[in-house]
Structure 1
Amino acid sequence: MQKKIKINPEEVTNHIVNWLKTYAENARVNGFVIGISGGVDSAVTSTLCAMTGLKVVCVEMPIHQDAKQVTRGRAHIEQLKNRFPNVSNLEVDLTQTFDVFQNSIPKSDDVTKYNLALANSRARLRMTTLYYFAGVDGLLVAGTGNKVEDFGVGFYTKYGDGGVDLSPIADLMKSEVYELGMHLNIPDSIQNAAPTDGLFGDDRTDEDQLGASYDELEVAMLADEEGKTTADFEGRALEVFTIYKRLNRINQHKMMPIPVYKIKR
């Protein structure tokens, strides 16, 4: 497999910031709104948005949230506000809203599917909240997905955290997001935290759910892009490549445009 070309963090940062600013100005909006999770993706994305000089609203939306995630998110927001006068923040506690929703729907006998559907409902409640503020303040919803999540394994909620107006870091591998994070002085507490979507109200990590780390999945994604097959791997590498291919296949519905039936005229 070919070696991944190392990015130039300063150059990439400047390109993304200029792209964000130009897009917002052409769209005639005031800036960006972004959900802050306490993870590196939202920290990097919100910093890039802040560097445009346009209005940035950081929104915390806890739903039975792990205290460590809340603490990390707040620390990042305070640092960001101290660095950039164009940044403000809001907290909307969606716990009660989620509980009302959960108590209003029938419980499925399939516990696994029930819990997953509820987890995705959390993400969709947050998306609805972000678009409320986007509408009120004339803002764009900035997405926080990276390349492995968005175009590799599809590890996001359709019309949840996948419901955004633009995706500043979706062409960056997770390792490259960390590189930008170091360049942008993202707090160590966030850089060193195990990635998690925080949708289940417990301490499970992304690796627990995916069965592989982002570093492993990056290798598999690059290998797949080069045309490698399972015959090219053995041991753990084969296991990870198989995981990658399965997730990539079953989540294509997230990555492809919505199919539209075309009438023959």
Structure 2
Amino acid sequence: METGELVNRLTGWIRERVTEAGAEGAVVGLSGGIDSAVVVGLAKRAFPEAVLGVIMPCHSLPRDAEHARLVAAAFSVPVREVVLDTAYDTLLARLKTAEAGEPKALALANIKPRLRMVTLYYLATQHNYLVLGTGNKSELTVGYFTKYGDAGVDLLPLGNLVKQEVREVARHLGVPEEIIRKAPSAGLWEGQTDESELGFSYAELDHYIRTGEGRPEVVARIRTMQQRSEHKRRLPPIPGF
């Protein structure tokens, strides 16, 4: 599908879904990355006067907030900035009193996106907006997201787009080139990138999604990640009796 047509269809889809829900606009968490930039750009097209960008630093790199503000300015989107450092520290201190031992890295990392989910839904309810998620098909395929964190959203406009398609849409929308060229990262620490965490490149992942082919070791890792994260892509199971 030609990129311009894809953008028009995604814009119409967002508008239709939000309206069907009886909502009046959209809230988007701005991370400073390409995915959230594309989603806020699409939301702005769907609801020119009813989009809110939210910047939520949580012991984050200052550059990420700077990039988020750059995106908001590029699309003339109003923003709220909610610093979550203290909320994170307070919650973690309480958790440590309830559970002895050193916290696992994954348990610590997942607190941040779940605090952000709470923040987005608070603001969405205040404005009668829906929360638009920023996950793409590449990430969803291998479970590279936090259950009830960045996956805790109302709509996933990029859910059928692999990373390369997201880049194409970004250029069509006019996302700043600095954001498009930026190495995808969850911003967990200085120098951290998605691809270093995944163990393969987005190009390899996209190729596998499109063709089912790839280097044997990459295919094996992708399939293992798919299997282990299957629970993330399903609603909680309910007994059939």
TM-score by length of 1: 0.86
Instruction: Please state how far the C-alpha of 1:108 moved relative to its aligned partner.
Output: 6.0
Instruction: Please state how far the C-alpha of 1:256 moved relative to its aligned partner.
Output: 2.1
Per-residue CA deviations over 1:79-114 (Å, capped at 9, x if unaligned) read: 111xxxxx3110000011101111111266466xx1
> In the alignment, what sits opposite 2:19?
25
Asked if the contact 1:141–1:165 (Cα under 8 Å) also holds between the matched residues in 2, the reply is: yes
TM-score by length of 2: 0.94
Where does the alignment leave 5 or more consecutive residues of structure 2 unmatched?
none
1:63 aligns to 2:58 (yes or no): yes
Q: Percent identity?
A: 36
Larger Rg computed on CA atoms = 1
Per-residue CA deviations over 1:106-132 (Å, capped at 9, x if unaligned) read: 266466xx1111111100000000000
Asked if the contact 1:30–1:54 (Cα under 8 Å) also holds between the matched residues in 2, the reply is: no
Where in structure 1 do 4 or more consecutive aligned residues deviate above 3 Å? 107-111
Distance 1:96 1:110 in 2: 20
1:128 aligns to 2:125 (yes or no): no
**Which residues in structure 2 correspond to 1:251-262 (within 5 Å)?**
251-262=229-240
> In the alignment, what sits opposite 2:109?
119
Distance 1:162 1:209 in 2: 18
Work out which of the residue numbers 211, 216, 238 in structure 1 matches 2:204. 216
**Which residues in structure 2 correspond to 1:233-248 (within 5 Å)?**
237-248=215-226
Per-residue CA deviations over 1:50-75 (Å, capped at 9, x if unaligned) read: 00125000000001111221211111
1:16 aligns to 2:18 (yes or no): no
Distance 2:173 2:190 in 1: 29
1:50 aligns to 2:44 (yes or no): yes
Where does the alignment leave 5 or more consecutive residues of structure 1 unmatched?
1-6, 82-86
Per-residue CA deviations over 1:169-213 (Å, capped at 9, x if unaligned) read: 110010000000010110111101100112x24331001110011
Distance 1:91 1:201 in 2: 20
Helix, strand or coil at the partner of 2:78: strand
**Which residues in structure 2 correspond to 1:223-238 (within 5 Å)?**
223-224=211-212, 237-238=215-216
Instruction: Please state how far the C-alpha of 1:29 moved relative to its aligned partner.
Output: 1.0
Instruction: Please state how far the C-alpha of 1:223 moved relative to its aligned partner.
Output: 3.4
Amino acid at match of 2:165: E
Distance 1:11 1:95 in 2: 41
Distance 1:128 1:75 in 2: 24
Helix, strand or coil at the partner of 2:75: helix
> In the alignment, what sits opposite 1:163?
152
Task: Give aligned pairs, total.
Answer: 238
Distance 2:202 2:189 in 1: 21
